[in-house]
Structure 1
Amino acid sequence: MSEPALSVPPLPAIMLEPLVRAALLEDLGRAGDITSDAIVPADAHAVTALVARQKGVVAGLDLARLAFRLVDPRIEVMVERPDGSALEPGDLIATVAGPARGMLTAERVALNFLCHLSGIASATAAVVDAVRGHKARITCTRKTMPGLRGPQKYALRVGGGANHRFGLDDGILIKDNHIAVAGGIRPAVGRARAAIGHMVKIEVEVDTLAQLDEALDAGVDAVLLDNMTPAELAQAVRMVDGRAVTEASGRITLATAPAVAASGVDLISIGWLTHSAAVLDIGLDHQEREAAWAL
């Protein structure tokens, strides 16, 4: 697995802090961390290491850092491998040093964000590698966890993918139910075009080549080719002939992505990259030199 070619700008802290605060408050409950408060002396200091236990790509370090610092601002996170770095088992990602109580209190929330987002970045990088040599870009969908859309889409970019629309308000995507209610593709596209500004693109989901022909006649900007075989996709690409952006979607896996990409489509959108990618196993390992809790 290779590292993504482009660096990805970090998300602003003002976007991340409410998410991390909510996660910490959920974990702290009504009485705080009664385990650490009872066991760990108030003046104890610790040094721990965030270590990769699997091969992958790291993402989410800013959220992990926020989790530690919101619990105790004296905790320092020294990053060795920033977001986007390729990982091998045993690689040191970052060193965490500071008051031991706060570190243990924040540990689970920090790891939840870091493992989840690194899982998305790692899965994305694997699919990006699988289609390398074709022009198709791997994109996400709106199938994200509530409240986590920004970080999840960020993690996909870290893995080398590209983002689809962020919400219902930044692009027109006319799907099968829209078409059914509107009475067809042409009236749906006509109403959409009359309602939007010149900066908004229109994409139509099609299931058949006949629908594709109708969408092209309506002058859409992009077509979502849903659940088509690689052979059908290749024929669709020939029909489009550069008149619109072509996007393949529908139960595409790591194994099937290369054949889909070989059809010549511009984009491959994959929902499971955000809604059900497996976490990347990352541990917070206590360093033996601090075993006495720095007492």
Structure 2
Amino acid sequence: MERPRAPSPPSEPPRAGRAVSPSTAEIDVVLIAALVEDLGLDPAEPWDPRVALERDLSTAASVDPETRGLARLVSKGSGVVCGLAAFARAFELLDPGARCELRVEDGAGVEPGTLVATVSARARALLTAERTALNLVQRLSGTATAMADLVARAATGGPARLLDTRKTTPGLRLLEKYAVRCGGGENHRFGLFDEVMLKDNHLDLARAAEGLDMGQLVARVRARVGGEVRITAEARDRAEAESALRGGADVLLLDNQSPQELSELCPRLRALATELGRRVELEASGGIDASTVAAYAACGVDRLSVGAPTHSAPALDLSLRLEVAP
């Protein structure tokens, strides 16, 4: 089996609506890298499940290759499940005859004791893939759960949408951004290539090197990337925000300001946008967590960006119970 090549991230990542699962090829890139690491295989060699199974010293020495097993994925906590396609695929990569029955779908809420999925496969494949499959589904479910909690809390304050950031685990960005959508959030830009985000360091360097202010920097970037690419400009105060708006920014990222400060600033920025005949989205970031998200959602911004669901959400507690197949 040839090792799948890493796919190119989408030029326009899904932002809202139904969370479309990553493709099998995209999932395989992540899973094979994880299994290769766990089994000490040569990453340059083609993937071969027969070779892989022999590298699990514990299982190869203790379990007959013909023994079949049944595994049950059960939730031990409350949350939102995500990553079931990857969970199932981990076993298929080691046993093409593996059969997984999903009892719930990604994005579904579960409680302790919920039977999430069953897997029938060769026992060796179940044991060898167990940790990789669990690691991924637990982590992605934790991200979906954390985002769902923030979305619910934000809704009590106002209509602001919840977006993720680029603070993702290297190699898992596509899957973690999918988990964000399963939790009811939206995706910010995928990476450095699909949208412009001018942060404080961009402005400070441009000002020190060439004396540019925020509006001049945004205008220069707009001339470079054209009118189809969205430009987000991070503003530390009202002056920077107004300058960015005049320069042509599509989104004003109002960073590290309190809900009270934003409640006063947002109407002024919207009035300026109307005066300029422009549409602009206002975004808040920094200091947004479970205790503050409702207040930020009520302050007049269109969207809130939060990094915690992808960089520090606790994993959802799931267990895999194995037995010999009848």
Query: Normalising by the residue count of structure 1, what TM-score does the alignment of the two structures yield?
Result: 0.93
Asked if 2 retains the 8 angstrom alpha-carbon contact of 1:124 and 1:156, the reply is: yes
Following superposition of structure 1 onto structure 2, how do residues 123-272 of structure 1 map, counting pairs within 5 Å?
123-133=146-156, 134-183=158-207, 184-241=213-270, 243-272=279-308
| Pairwise CA distance, 1:9 | 1.4
Partner of 1:94: 117
- Determine the C-alpha separation between the residues in 2 that align with 1:257 and 1:136: 10
- Determine the C-alpha separation between the residues in 2 that align with 1:99 and 1:122: 32
- Determine the C-alpha separation between the residues in 2 that align with 1:80 and 1:240: 48
For each residue in 1:54-103, what CA deviation from the matched residue of structure 2 results, as whole angstroms up to 9, or x when unmatched?
Answer: 10000011111111100111211100001011011110110111211111
2:147 counterpart SS class: helix
Partner of 1:277: 313
Partner of 1:14: 25
- Determine the C-alpha separation between the residues in 2 that align with 1:53 and 1:6: 29
Partner of 1:68: 91
Partner of 1:111: 134
Partner of 1:120: 143
Partner of residue 34 from structure 2, selected from 17, 23, 34:
23
Asked if 2 retains the 8 angstrom alpha-carbon contact of 1:207 and 1:226, the reply is: yes
| Pairwise CA distance, 1:138 | 0.6
- Determine the C-alpha separation between the residues in 2 that align with 1:14 and 1:198: 33
Structure 2 letter corresponding to 1:248: A
Asked if 2 retains the 8 angstrom alpha-carbon contact of 1:65 and 1:110, the reply is: yes
For each residue in 1:115-141, what CA deviation from the matched residue of structure 2 results, as whole angstroms up to 9, or x when unmatched?
Answer: 000000000000000011521111001
Asked if 1 retains the 8 angstrom alpha-carbon contact of 2:97 and 2:121, the reply is: yes
Structure 2 letter corresponding to 1:263: C
Partner of 1:77: 100
For each residue in 1:255-290, what CA deviation from the matched residue of structure 2 results, as whole angstroms up to 9, or x when unmatched?
Answer: 110011010211110011111111101110125xx3
Aligned-CA RMSD value: 1.5
